[in-house]
C-alpha cells in the first residue's frame, strides 16, 4: 500500500479561462476532498513545457484549486490472490476484463445505443451548449497490437474536424499529448494527454463566429513528477526486457506497460516485475486498463478532473446551460462518466461490444459507430442553426 505524502500549498494565483473564447480570470473548483492538498508547479517562466513548444502560455494556479493525494491498492497483483489466467493459448481470459453477470441483451437495456436513441440525446441538449470530449484509443481509432500504430483514418479525422467546427471539442487520453496530436493532426482541438495531466488549448482558434481572439493555454498539474517518471521509465524498460512482447510507453506524465502481445502465461510474472518497481516509489500509483498497466503520480487528477477543468475554462462552471458529451471505451474513462453523473449533465457514452460495469448512460459498439454519432451531431447542428 502506498503512503500519502504531504505537499505544499498551491500558489495563490488564478488560472486563465476562456468564457466565450476570451481570456478571463476565473477561480477553479475545489476538489471533492479538500482536506489533503498537493502543490502543483507551473511550467517554466518561458511557458515552455519541455517539448520546445514556445507558443503556449503559462497557466498559473488558483488558491481555490485543491488536489487530493491518493493511495494505490496493489493487492490484485499479489501472487496469493493473482487473477491472472492459467489457460494456454490466445483464448486466455483477459485478467483486466470487467466481470459481469448479465448478457449483452440485458445490459443494452440499461445502456442503450446512442445511435438508436440519438433523437433523445439531441432533445436533451436543446437550448444548451454542447461540449465534446473524446477518448482516442478504441474510440477514434481501433485497438491494435502495436500502440505506435493506432492511427485514425481520414474519414474519422474529417468527422472530428466537423464536430470541432460546431462545438468546443477535446481529446482526453492516457497517451502523451504530443503523440496523440501526431495521430489526430487537428489544431482546433483541446488536447488533454496523460489522463488529463497535460492540457493544451487550440493552436488554431475554433470556428465560432463569436470568437474575437485566439487563446492558447498550457496546464500541467504533475510537472514536479517528471524526473521521477523518467527514472521509473528507464527501470521498467530494463526490467521488462526479459518478457517478449512487453512494451513500455512513456506518456510524459504517466507510463504504460502494454502486454497485449505477451504470452498469457507470462502476464502474472510481468505484473509482479512492474509491481516490484512501483512499490519502491510511494509517489506513484499503479492502475490497470485494457491489457495495459499504467503508472501515474499520486495526485488525484484524472480524466474526470480534466473534464471539469476544461468546462470551467470554457466558462461553463456550475451552469445548467451546458451539455457535455463524453465518449470513451476504457476503465480510465469511468472517472469522466462519474463526473457527468454527479453534475447531472450531458451524456456519457461507453464504446464496447460486451457488457461492462459502467457509469455511462449510453453505448456504442465500435469507432465506426462513434463516427456515425459525430456525423449525426453535425447534421443536427446544421438544422438547428438554419
23 DSSP β-pair partners: 18
Q: Residue 63 and residue 124: Cα distance in Å, rounded?
A: 35
d(CA 97, CA 99): 6
pLDDT at 13: 32
User: Over the chain (386 residues), what is each successive 10-residue block's mean pLDDT?
Assistant: 38 34 32 28 33 34 37 38 33 42 82 97 95 97 90 97 96 96 95 96 60 61 95 96 94 95 92 94 91 93 95 86 96 96 96 95 97 97 76
Reported in sequence order, the residue ranges of 15-120 that DSSP labels E, i.e. its strands, are 16-19, 22-25
Q: Which pLDDT value is given to residue 109?
A: 93
Please report the pLDDT score of residue 288 as a whole number. Answer: 87
Integer Cα distance of 240 and 292 in angstroms: 13
Q: What single string gives the DSSP state of each residue in 213-247?
A: S----EE-TTGGGHHHHHHHHHHHHHHGGGSTT-E
- What does the block give as the cell for 223? 510537472
Please give the Cα distance from 49 to 165 (Å, whole number). Answer: 27
Give the global pTM: 0.73
Grid cell 491489457 is found at 291
Amino acid at each position: 500500500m502506498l503512503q500519502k505524502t504531504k505537499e505544499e500549498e498551491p500558489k495563490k494565483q488564478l488560472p486563465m479561462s476562456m468564457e466565450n473564447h476570451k481570456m478571463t480570470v476565473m477561480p477553479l473548483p475545489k476538489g471533492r476532498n479538500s482536506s489533503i492538498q498537493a502543490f502543483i508547479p507551473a511550467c517554466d517562466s518561458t511557458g515552455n513545457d519541455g517539448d520546445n513548444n514556445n507558443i503556449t502560455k503559462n497557466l498559473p494556479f488558483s488558491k481555490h484549486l485543491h488536489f487530493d493525494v491518493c493511495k494505490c491498492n496493489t493487492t490484485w497483483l499479489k501472487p496469493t490472490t493473482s487473477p491472472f489466467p492459467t489457460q494456454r493459448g490466445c483464448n486466455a481470459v483477459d485478467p483486466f476484463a470487467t466481470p459481469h453477470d448479465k448478457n449483452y441483451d440485458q445490459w443494452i437495456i440499461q445502456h442503450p445505443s446512442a445511435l438508436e436513441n440519438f433523437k433523445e440525446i439531441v432533445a436533451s441538449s436543446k437550448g444548451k451548449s454542447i461540449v465534446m470530449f473524446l477518448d482516442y484509443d478504441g474510440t477514434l481509432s481501433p485497438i491494435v497490437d502495436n500502440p505506435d500504430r493506432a492511427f485514425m483514418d481520414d474519414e474519422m479525422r474529417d468527422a472530428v474536424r466537423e464536430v470541432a467546427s460546431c462545438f468546443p471539442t477535446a481529446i482526453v487520453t492516457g497517451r502523451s499529448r504530443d503523440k496523440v496530436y501526431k495521430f489526430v493532426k487537428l489544431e482546433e482541438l483541446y488536447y488533454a494527454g496523460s489522463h488529463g495531466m497535460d492540457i493544451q488549448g487550440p493552436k488554431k482558434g475554433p470556428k465560432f463566429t463569436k470568437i474575437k481572439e485566439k487563446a492558447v493555454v498550457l496546464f500541467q498539474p504533475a510537472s514536479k513528477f517528471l524526473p521521477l517518471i523518467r527514472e521509473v521509465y528507464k527501470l521498467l524498460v530494463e526490467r521488462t526486457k526479459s518478457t517478449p512482447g512487453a512494451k513500455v510507453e512513456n506518456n510524459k506524465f504517466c507510463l504504460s506497460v502494454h502486454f497485449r502481445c505477451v504470452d498469457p502465461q507470462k502476464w502474472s510474472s510481468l505484473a509482479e516485475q512492474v509491481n516490484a518497481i512501483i512499490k519502491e516509489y510511494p509517489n506513484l500509483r499503479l492502475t490497470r486498463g485494457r491489457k495495459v498497466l499504467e503508472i501515474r503520480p499520486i495526485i488525484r487528477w484524472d480524466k474526470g478532473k480534466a473534464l471539469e477543468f476544461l468546462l470551467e475554462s470554457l466558462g461553463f462552471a456550475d451552469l445548467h446551460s451546458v451539455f457535455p458529451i463524453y465518449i470513451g471505451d476504457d476503465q480510465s474513462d469511468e472517472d469522466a462518466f462519474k463526473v457527468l453523473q454527479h453534475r447531472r449533465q450531458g451524456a456519457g457514452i461507453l464504446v464496447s461490444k460486451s457488457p461492462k460495469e459502467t457509469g455511462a448512460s449510453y453505448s456504442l459498439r465500435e469507432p465506426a459507430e462513434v463516427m456515425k454519432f459525430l456525423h449525426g451531431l453535425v447534421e443536427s447542428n446544421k438544422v438547428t442553426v438554419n
